[in-house]
Chain A
Amino acid sequence: MRPAVRLSILIAVLSLGFLFVLPLWSIRLEAPQYPEGVSMEIWLTKLSGQLDLINALNHYIGMRPIHQENFPELNLMPWLILGLIGLGLLVVLFNRRWLLGIWVIVFGLLIAIGLVDFYRWGYEYGHNLDPRAPIKVPGMAYQPPLIGSKRLLNFVAHSYPAAGGLIAFGSFVIGTVMLTAECLHARRQKRRCMDIGWKSRVPVTVP
């Protein structure tokens, strides 16, 4: 890989370190009585924000209280990201295109699984309501949007990636763009993009 590519990948990999100090996702609720908004943030290892207040409000519609302990993902995610960083460092160290390919694919899979998991939780919390809830609106579910804004009774829920999420996404985009650039470069040099390449390093000896 060209040095500029290698450097970009290094930056992309190291920037994932920010995921340990910045929230990944933010859900913000606004209502007439809450002009200042009520918000919660999802981090790699924890949930933060006005959870008690959100739970107090959610009890009217029979939503299960949201507690950090209920999410085993929060124990798993930091290890997955550490793994991703480790793999990324290997890409930079061994400077192999195919290794970069693997990193991008693994990263993409993690993002996809994460979003599916997030959607699943949202669905679960939004639909699986206590039948004895004080407020029951026929046909109403309270699933927050995966991404975007949605009206839920008197609240408007905004669900968007937070700083950490944006950095992760940016890192993934850099990886993808660099991989594509490298493949195009390889094609121009009439080489295979995903050539495992160990053999090519053996000097060709002319008898």
Chain B
Amino acid sequence: MTAQILSRVLVWSLPVGALVIVGLISGCPSPKQTVATGDAASRVYVPPGQYDEFYAFLSGGFSGQVTVHGLPSGRLLKVIPVFSVHPENGYGYTPETQPLLMTSHGFIPWDDSHHPELSQTDGVPDGRWLFINSNNTPRVARIDLRTFETVEIIEIPNSGGNHASPFVTQNTEYVVAATRFSVPIPQKDVPIATYKENFNGTLSFIKVDPKSGRMELAFQILVPGYNYDLAHAGKGPSHGWAFFTAYNTEQAHTLLEVNASQRDKDFIAAVNWKKAEEYLAQGKYHEMPAEYYHNVYDEQKHMATSRVLTKVKVLIPSECPGMIYYLPTPKSPHGVDVDPSGEYIVAGGKLATVIPVHSFSKMLKAIENQEFDTTIDGIPVLKYEAVLAGEVKTPGLGPLHTEFDGKGYAYTSHFVSSEVVKWKLGTWEVVDRIPTYYSIGHLMIPGGDSRKPWGKYLLAMNKITKDRYLPTGPELVQSAQLIDISGEKMRLLLDFPTLGEPHYAQGLPAELITKNNLKVYPLQENAHPFAVKSVEQARVERKGNEVHVYMTAVRSHFRPDNIEGIQVGDKVFFHVTNLEQDWDIPHGFAILGSNTAEILVMPGQTKTLVWEPKKPGVYPFYCTDFCSALHQEMQGYVRVSPRGANVPLTYGTGQE
């Protein structure tokens, strides 16, 4: 009997045990909400034919570009070529756009675009321009938000890795730029081990013309050789100041992952730029030789030009008291974010266990009372306790960057614990947290770094994607996640893939941009030197071995479409003017064997493709953008003869 019971128990022990184990595993509450639930689909669904509520501008990271998305749908609306060539439309290949990518190191076809920043008026995004920095070869670009085209790029001298950039002051008086890698200033050939003696950083202030948006490097502040990481300007009461994070205050020059992580506190540099302006006006600057490019695209000439500048004004902190202070800040801070009121300065200490929040008013008081720990190269270091407003305790691991919702809450991305943490300004208590997939870098709330956040959505930009989408081999896209922050609890709404690796984004209500959107370039205003404004003016001119084709494109033909008399060794310039004045009727142009990219010409615009034929023959060209019912008929031929042949230069269209 006992044996029978025992055998029954044994017989059932296996399945029951298995069930218990399965129950334990599945019954355990999942620590993470990995999928969107509830009405998430309808919250992000923008019906066909309707517009998104917000524009979002994401940096393309190592793609060098900017992408434009609509929110809440996440739909990709445009890739704006900025720091990398874009064969798709000829950016960086045409003589019109090549000057934009000129630097003191020559033509550079690629860069790493990092932080988009919208122009602001009275501390609120105004939808006029978007600035973005390139990190590798230090530059700042300006995009015109009427046309969504890059119209200006200025190089930053005395800088290595333009990372803390291009954050704007309250009325876009300045765009800032600071060097991530300190370098010898001016550059010279020195042993790397002499880092401490020979290396310096610079904080650059680029003046922006309030009407045209035109940039000009106003001055640089020479600072100790740390790594300057991110920045934000003050607003409201702190208007007139700009804040930069600095890590590697250890001044390590090798194995930074260890050697630059030793000190408990690094710094936030607080710059009183109005004071700097005073010193500048008093002539307390040093004029240093420096070679840097300033490239401007003329939207009427449809052409960029470069100029080389050779001097920069440098201010030295020890000669300019009251211009700059250091705020001790825990553990290699990354983001420095000023809340909408302008009072709180939040730092993201990558390796810190707290989120320190500095108080602007306490900082002013500490300066007044001279509560300094020490002074470094003429820069007073304020006492941590004297400037601290509070600390968010154990928020998560690896805090990076904070944005605000305008309702009294802050949201900090945490790379290591892969989450967004919501906390309350003033009480510093954590009120909510939501996981991200995976390892969020930056986050964005439309207007979330301004005085007036539109706190409805938060966009998380993640560094690791893994299993979030159908796999595509070893290389995966980066992923963004849209989080609803309109309620008390954050809610995951949507995942969408992004281009390159977004390092930051900006967003604003769509109508701030749509009201100024340009549909076509007015043909009558086209001042391109090789433009032709009607088919009658189309022609071909030879100047030595240069041949200029003044070509028109209109539905559905090129004029001229047959050209003879070109010789091997000629340099042929196809200056194509799109005569259309109708929205969304671009024409493309490409020719067989061309060693450059195609061009896409917008209505009313002129672009040039340069072609150097190498072999005799007849070469077809065609329109590459499906423009009309007779797009496939939009083509032509160029006859290329051997050098010295006596084929006369002839051209025409419609001549049998």
List, in ascending order, chain B residues with CB within 8 A of A18's CB. none
**How close is B136's CB to chain A, nearest CB, in angstroms?**
43
| B629 pairs with A56, CB closer than 8 A | no
Interchain CA distance A200-B555 in the complex, whole Å: 71
Cβ of A60 within 8 Å of any chain B Cβ, yes or no, is: yes
Residue of A nearest to B630 (CB): A134
Cβ of A82 within 8 Å of any chain B Cβ, yes or no, is: no
Cβ of A53 within 8 Å of any chain B Cβ, yes or no, is: yes
List, in ascending order, chain B residues with CB within 8 A of A56's CB. 554-555, 580, 582
Cβ of A73 within 8 Å of any chain B Cβ, yes or no, is: no
Interface size on B, residues (CB 8 A): 10
Cβ of A52 within 8 Å of any chain B Cβ, yes or no, is: yes
Cβ of A11 within 8 Å of any chain B Cβ, yes or no, is: no
Cβ of B581 within 8 Å of any chain A Cβ, yes or no, is: yes
Cβ of A106 within 8 Å of any chain B Cβ, yes or no, is: no
Cβ of A135 within 8 Å of any chain B Cβ, yes or no, is: yes
Give B547-577 as 1s and 0s: 1 = Cβ < 8 Å from A's Cβ atoms.
0000000111000000000000000000000
**How close is B41's CB to chain A, nearest CB, in angstroms?**
27
| A60 pairs with B582, CB closer than 8 A | no
List, in ascending order, chain A residues with CB within 8 A of B554's CB. 56
| B630 pairs with A53, CB closer than 8 A | no
| B630 partner, pick from A50, A52, A60, beta carbons under 8 A | A60
Give A23-36 as 1s and 0s: 1 = Cβ < 8 Å from B's Cβ atoms.
00000000000000
| A135 pairs with B582, CB closer than 8 A | no
List, in ascending order, chain B residues with CB within 8 A of A135's CB. 629
| B581 pairs with A53, CB closer than 8 A | yes
List, in ascending order, chain B residues with CB within 8 A of A60's CB. 555, 628-630
Interchain CA distance A57-B556 in the complex, whole Å: 10
List, in ascending order, chain A residues with CB within 8 A of B555's CB. 56-57, 59-60
Give A52-70 as 1s and 0s: 1 = Cβ < 8 Å from B's Cβ atoms.
1100110110000000000
**How close is A55's CB to chain B, nearest CB, in angstroms?**
10
List, in ascending order, chain A residues with CB within 8 A of B630's CB. 60, 134
List, in ascending order, chain B residues with CB within 8 A of A57's CB. 555
List, in ascending order, chain A residues with CB within 8 A of B556's CB. 134
Interchain CA distance A134-B580 in the complex, whole Å: 19
Interchain CA distance A57-B582 in the complex, whole Å: 11
| A53 pairs with B582, CB closer than 8 A | yes
**How close is A180's CB to chain B, nearest CB, in angstroms?**
49
Give B14-43 as 1s and 0s: 1 = Cβ < 8 Å from A's Cβ atoms.
000000000000000000000000000000
Interchain CA distance A56-B578 in the complex, whole Å: 13
Interchain CA distance A48-B194 in the complex, whole Å: 73
**How close is A107's CB to chain B, nearest CB, in angstroms?**
39
List, in ascending order, chain A residues with CB within 8 A of B580's CB. 56
Interchain CA distance A59-B555 in the complex, whole Å: 9
Interchain CA distance A189-B465 in the complex, whole Å: 97
Interchain CA distance A60-B556 in the complex, whole Å: 9
From B582, B629, B633, name the one whose CB has the most chain A CB atoms within 10 angstroms. B582
**How close is B249's CB to chain A, nearest CB, in angstroms?**
59
Residue of A nearest to B519 (CB): A36
Interchain CA distance A134-B633 in the complex, whole Å: 10
Interchain CA distance A50-B630 in the complex, whole Å: 21
List, in ascending order, chain A residues with CB within 8 A of B582's CB. 50, 53, 56
Residue of B nearest to A36 (CB): B583
List, in ascending order, chain B residues with CB within 8 A of A50's CB. 581-582
Give B138-176 as 1s and 0s: 1 = Cβ < 8 Å from A's Cβ atoms.
000000000000000000000000000000000000000
Residue of A nearest to B633 (CB): A134
Residue of A nearest to B582 (CB): A53
List, in ascending order, chain B residues with CB within 8 A of A59's CB. 555
**How close is B634's CB to chain A, nearest CB, in angstroms?**
11
Residue of B nearest to A38 (CB): B582
B51-95 residues at the A interface, CB under 8 angstroms: none
Interchain CA distance A53-B628 in the complex, whole Å: 13
List, in ascending order, chain B residues with CB within 8 A of A134's CB. 556, 629-630, 633
B618-644 residues at the A interface, CB under 8 angstroms: 628-630, 633
Complex A-B: 20 CB contacts under 8 Å:
A50-B581, A50-B582, A52-B581, A53-B581, A53-B582, A56-B554, A56-B555, A56-B580, A56-B582, A57-B555, A59-B555, A60-B555, A60-B628, A60-B629, A60-B630, A134-B556, A134-B629, A134-B630, A134-B633, A135-B629
Query: Which of B's residues lie within 8 Å of A, judged by CB?
Result: 554-556, 580-582, 628-630, 633
Query: Which of A's residues lie within 8 Å of B, judged by CB?
Result: 50, 52-53, 56-57, 59-60, 134-135
For the complex of A and B, the 7 pairs showing the least CB-CB separation, nearest first, are: A53-B582, A134-B630, A56-B555, A52-B581, A56-B554, A53-B581, A60-B629
A-B contacts besides A60-B555, A60-B630, A134-B556, 17 pairs, CB < 8 Å = A50-B581, A50-B582, A52-B581, A53-B581, A53-B582, A56-B554, A56-B555, A56-B580, A56-B582, A57-B555, A59-B555, A60-B628, A60-B629, A134-B629, A134-B630, A134-B633, A135-B629
